[in-house]
A and B are shown apart, each in its own frame.
Chain A
């Protein structure tokens, strides 16, 4: 599905990948997020090739180094906003005070300091996505991956989310890769590339 893709990104850099449905945008994102394994070629983050790791090590790698933001936000409906942000911390056991404090801080930074105890059903679409962004950043990831993060939002909310994503990525000095249909969202990022028939080229 993906052919001859070569891409190198530095810390603090952000990239929008555009392309029509079925072009392989999500597949590329899943590969970068280690949710899928490439049949050929390698992907490294820093000096580390995650695909040489076994299952538990890979999970730990993903937990510490990669943050995901999904179009469907995938918040756990039974948990509050604060608890949702802390979900990745469960991989290491019970979150400590430091983590709880960081979760609060992140929610504050995404503008939800007043909505910590609200459940997803009590939040708007934009607010849910903000919680999703905070959750993605809980472990200060090197790589932040966003799959159509504004796909379910209205224009105003979408703009706000785009700005927030970039702002936080810059603050955290992470790499941000966003796959999207939205030109507007793509225009808010430093680099734009297009995926067409499995080939990645500058847009």
Chain B
């Protein structure tokens, strides 16, 4: 005889009750395991999507510039590449294209479409055999199913792609940047196949479970249409099958294998030969040639300038910024402009002269001392034309270097003429491509190459032929055209580099060229070698900044798989959502185990009586419980698979709102199965341990008497305490309700639900006191069957209160959760009825009347006079809203204009705010002002939607810091405030000024908040029509917000559904209590039968008792829930309707009452079937 043997014998002897406990344990474990498997399935499905949509593609290089397609073939030919990688495929990707399908004069348009232009080898990268039946040739296109459906296109349809003009252009928001005609249409593309949205058919760049819309075409189609001969912006790399997917470090290695040339960065080094004499002789041996580094975007951005500074440090080099002055106007002694208007459209070079390079040298050939901030040097032509002498004042008119308007803003700066540099007039002027020819030696100031080439300007034969984005409003004189003939855009004036940069430097850069002195009189071969040396130096330096220069691979598959870990731990979420179900199952385990213990209370009493210590007796029971838990959990793991399957079925159907797309497939990991099993054993063992713990308080003699409850205590003191507490809680409920009227949103719901919870607890305490007071008092003289049943329920007030409390809590929780349900409101959209996005940037200023008139014409814009439109800048990134289950690695950034913040000083409807860092009155009234705070420790102020911050980004309070990386641009942020349930969910909101500093390349606006006053012409349709080429697409903000809030609402529904399931399980607990009661009173029930009570009558009494507990619980729960929810209904809160609440409640009540009655019937049946004599004897 050992204690283990006793345990095993007890298990087998009491197998019936243990079998019931096993089922309870299995239910709890099934829910726990199921929740873990749901987590596995979400993660597994997200991983599966990554692997499907990328196929064999492991790394992607996507550049903002176009580069030679040979870069891919050169890479693929390298032995170091072939050792690990399989293919390097050049491609052109446009993540934000627009596609149109025209049928019967009706245009169907889909915007923000991923356009993929590749060679046919792209389809070899698919791993799911989703190759189209016909791969697209030139002028052909393949659509994926979602896009074809959106467009209503079929095989044979002819569609149009609208793409941005090639990116290698002057920044759109500089004065010379083209703001119109930046969209190029590729019409007449025949749809040759439609592929399912599976495998490469759902190819996408950002991790999202939503179905992307993708158009696939042949590389040459886009190259020819955009005049991008041999150029691409993407390289796709796949690994050898045996190799793991490259990670971030591997991609650095991959970057090193690239051999970009200067042209791949959009740069060129050219040897500038100074003007030659007619006889082609060098005019002056002291004047050397030089090499110039320029960009095809006119401006060298800061990254290039940094690289150039370091690369050319060992050479005689200088940076130059040449800018267009609209006019050079002399000032008289009174500081007034001379009446003739000065010289129009000249260039001014900002450069600090250096030995050998000049361009400003004194008579001894030494560079002129640096110019002061207000000093300028003019050439002799200007001095002569305007009668200027040293010391004269000169006003320089110019456009501000950054502008979003077609007609930029002009300003001026006054200078003093410090010196006049000679310039030589050529014998023969420029003609076409032929340079000017000199008969007298030119000077270093005769350098037209100080001005960068600008297509449409520097390549024109006369000023009047210039093709500029702005109007040439100033009068161009004959002598100005003559200067242009003789000197082209040779600078007419010079300022210091620092002065030029302060005036004309911009976020796009503050150099237009880099000049490097060429050793004197180099033969052609040597000068070519010198250029190569410079290029090598630059490329060597550039390798360190490859990401910032836009030529760096991203480990897309590795990143995608990392992001597939998800924003929400679904296993934890489903454990939380199933918490009531788990609690109900555990309560059932506890009740059933205690039922088993009750049945053999005397045996436990015996063990204590014979001297087996309480701890040892308890240990024996715990061992029994653990073995039962171990077996039950095993069964629970099997059931858990079914539970997970059901949850996934729910997420694919009724709870689809939580995951947006029905993409989930079942996955199970061994770890989860084992964890579920162990977790099941743990929680059930703890529950059983707790049940056993209670036995320690019961004296041995009571146990010997078969009583498994503690000694009855005197209730007076407890009753007094309970009475006071009850009334305290009810008072608290009233205070909370009063406070709630001053709150809003979730805080208000929280206050009401808190009040409801206080009401519930108070009522339960009163209920228990009532039971105790009657059980301690006398029996009612008017005894009836129902009263007898109720008094039976009062025999064990603790047990009855527990049952009622469980059912009341469940019904309260389920019903009260309705008050947290969110409906879209205009506050969520800040009062803007429409939210629009465009595929391509919009440069027209839609917030100004002038901009709207320019776009829509006078009539249409007049209709929108009272409309409010705010355009926002967009840095593309991951969708960090609750709609995206992938973890956002680099969320989309929106640049919020200062005007939007100012608008909310007066706006009638404002965004709802959560916690913020607002300190001043102004900030508290309008927290948008927080965005204007200066950076803190280099971190930019950011506003984030609270749900995005907490659930997607793991940021839990304002004042937190966060860092994200956008292709080499590190964005350090500090959170200044949270928006609540807003339509701006999923974005990082920073001020436009900070946006422009961080993302200087991003031009135009692509996100729009639109408000049209009621009764006036809605702006959105007019804008959609006018900006169709840009793929402008507006949505009702309420609809958008609804889709965002659907996630939270669906989780509430899930909680309610699983809670109802828990409540059903709780009714089994009720049946257990009923059985315990019946078991304890089997003798007296038998006595009733012996006294002549019919079976039916005894049964009815037991049923009454059951109903008393069931309806008592439901009644208290519903009463408290009504307290929590009614204020919402009475206040007219749109989020919760009386109908919906009533419907939810009715369904729940019906289900629970039905289940309760059913379980009650089981107790009745058991009672009336018990053998009469044996029951009378108490056996």
Q: Is A87 touching B609 in the complex (CB atoms < 8 A)? A: no
A-B contact count (CB 8 A): 94
Contact with A along B103-122 (1 / 0, CB 8 A): 00000000000000000000
- Interface positions, chain B 583-624, Cβ under 8 Å from A, are 602-603, 605-616
Interface: B700 (CB within 8 A):
yes
| Most chain A CB inside 10 Å of its own CB: which residue of B603, B610, B613, B699 | B610
Interface: B13 (CB within 8 A):
yes
Docked complex Cα distance between A94 and B603 (Å): 19
Docked complex Cα distance between A86 and B616 (Å): 15
Q: Is A59 touching B605 in the complex (CB atoms < 8 A)? A: no
Please give, as numbers and ranges, the residues of chain A lying within 8 Å of B1 by CB-CB distance.
79, 82-83, 86-87, 89-90, 94-95, 100
- Checking B9, B616, B700 against A91 with a beta-carbon cut-off of 8 angstroms, the contacting residue is B616
Closest B residue, CB atoms, query A145: B609
- Checking B6, B14, B610 against A62 with a beta-carbon cut-off of 8 angstroms, the contacting residue is B610
Q: How many residues of B contact A (CB 8 A)?
A: 28
Docked complex Cα distance between A72 and B1178 (Å): 12
Interface: B3 (CB within 8 A):
yes
| Most chain A CB inside 10 Å of its own CB: which residue of B3, B5, B602, B612 | B612
Q: Is B611 touching A59 in the complex (CB atoms < 8 A)? A: yes
Q: Is B614 touching A90 in the complex (CB atoms < 8 A)? A: no
Interface: A156 (CB within 8 A):
no
Measured CB to CB, the closest approach of chain B to A83, in angstroms, equals 5
Please give, as numbers and ranges, the residues of chain B lying within 8 Å of A77 by CB-CB distance.
13
Interface: A183 (CB within 8 A):
no
Q: Is B613 touching A59 in the complex (CB atoms < 8 A)? A: yes
- Checking A66, A72, A90, A93 against B6 with a beta-carbon cut-off of 8 angstroms, the contacting residue is A90
Q: Is A90 touching B704 in the complex (CB atoms < 8 A)? A: no
Given A35-B609, A59-B614, are A90 and B13 also a contact pair (CB < 8 Å)? no
Docked complex Cα distance between A135 and B704 (Å): 16
Docked complex Cα distance between A118 and B1009 (Å): 87
Interface: B270 (CB within 8 A):
no
Interface: B281 (CB within 8 A):
no
Q: Is A94 touching B610 in the complex (CB atoms < 8 A)? A: no
Q: How many residues of A contact B (CB 8 A)?
A: 36
Contact with B along A29-45 (1 / 0, CB 8 A): 01001011000000000
Q: Is B611 touching A78 in the complex (CB atoms < 8 A)? A: no
Measured CB to CB, the closest approach of chain A to B372, in angstroms, equals 97
Please give, as numbers and ranges, the residues of chain A lying within 8 Å of B605 by CB-CB distance.
74
Measured CB to CB, the closest approach of chain A to B610, in angstroms, equals 4
Docked complex Cα distance between A91 and B602 (Å): 17
Measured CB to CB, the closest approach of chain A to B873, in angstroms, equals 75
Please give, as numbers and ranges, the residues of chain B lying within 8 Å of A56 by CB-CB distance.
613, 615
Docked complex Cα distance between A41 and B605 (Å): 25
Q: Is B609 touching A62 in the complex (CB atoms < 8 A)? A: yes
Q: Is A74 touching B613 in the complex (CB atoms < 8 A)? A: no
Docked complex Cα distance between A100 and B12 (Å): 24
- Checking A59, A70, A139 against B608 with a beta-carbon cut-off of 8 angstroms, the contacting residue is A59
Please give, as numbers and ranges, the residues of chain A lying within 8 Å of B606 by CB-CB distance.
70, 74, 76, 87
- Interface positions, chain B 1-50, Cβ under 8 Å from A, are 1-3, 5-6, 9-10, 12-14
Please give, as numbers and ranges, the residues of chain A lying within 8 Å of B607 by CB-CB distance.
87, 90
Measured CB to CB, the closest approach of chain A to B699, in angstroms, equals 7
- Interface positions, chain B 698-727, Cβ under 8 Å from A, are 699-701, 704
Interface: A102 (CB within 8 A):
no
Q: Is A88 touching B613 in the complex (CB atoms < 8 A)? A: no
Q: Is A35 touching B615 in the complex (CB atoms < 8 A)? A: no
Please give, as numbers and ranges, the residues of chain A lying within 8 Å of B2 by CB-CB distance.
90, 94
Contact with B along A61-82 (1 / 0, CB 8 A): 1111010101010101111001
Given A88-B611, A91-B610, A135-B610, are A35 and B701 also a contact pair (CB < 8 Å)? yes
Measured CB to CB, the closest approach of chain A to B598, in angstroms, equals 15
Docked complex Cα distance between A4 and B975 (Å): 79
Please give, as numbers and ranges, the residues of chain A lying within 8 Å of B616 by CB-CB distance.
90-91
Docked complex Cα distance between A63 and B606 (Å): 11
Measured CB to CB, the closest approach of chain A to B638, in angstroms, equals 29
Interface: A155 (CB within 8 A):
no
- Checking B612, B614, B699 against A35 with a beta-carbon cut-off of 8 angstroms, the contacting residue is B699
| Most chain A CB inside 10 Å of its own CB: which residue of B1, B6, B14, B700 | B1
| Most chain B CB inside 10 Å of its own CB: which residue of A60, A74, A100 | A74
Docked complex Cα distance between A30 and B5 (Å): 30
Please give, as numbers and ranges, the residues of chain A lying within 8 Å of B609 by CB-CB distance.
33, 35, 62, 68, 74
Q: Is B602 touching A74 in the complex (CB atoms < 8 A)? A: yes
Docked complex Cα distance between A118 and B14 (Å): 18
Please give, as numbers and ranges, the residues of chain A lying within 8 Å of B6 by CB-CB distance.
76, 78-79, 83, 87, 90
Given A68-B610, A91-B612, A95-B1, 20 additional A-B pairs, CB 8 A: A26-B701, A30-B701, A35-B608, A35-B609, A35-B704, A56-B613, A59-B608, A59-B614, A63-B611, A70-B606, A74-B605, A74-B606, A74-B609, A78-B14, A83-B9, A87-B612, A88-B610, A88-B611, A91-B616, A139-B611
CB-defined A-B contacts under 8 Å, sample of 15: A33-B609, A59-B614, A72-B704, A74-B609, A78-B6, A83-B5, A86-B1, A87-B6, A87-B606, A87-B610, A87-B612, A90-B607, A91-B612, A94-B3, A135-B610
3 tightest CB-CB pairs across the interface, nearest first? A63-B611, A78-B13, A78-B9
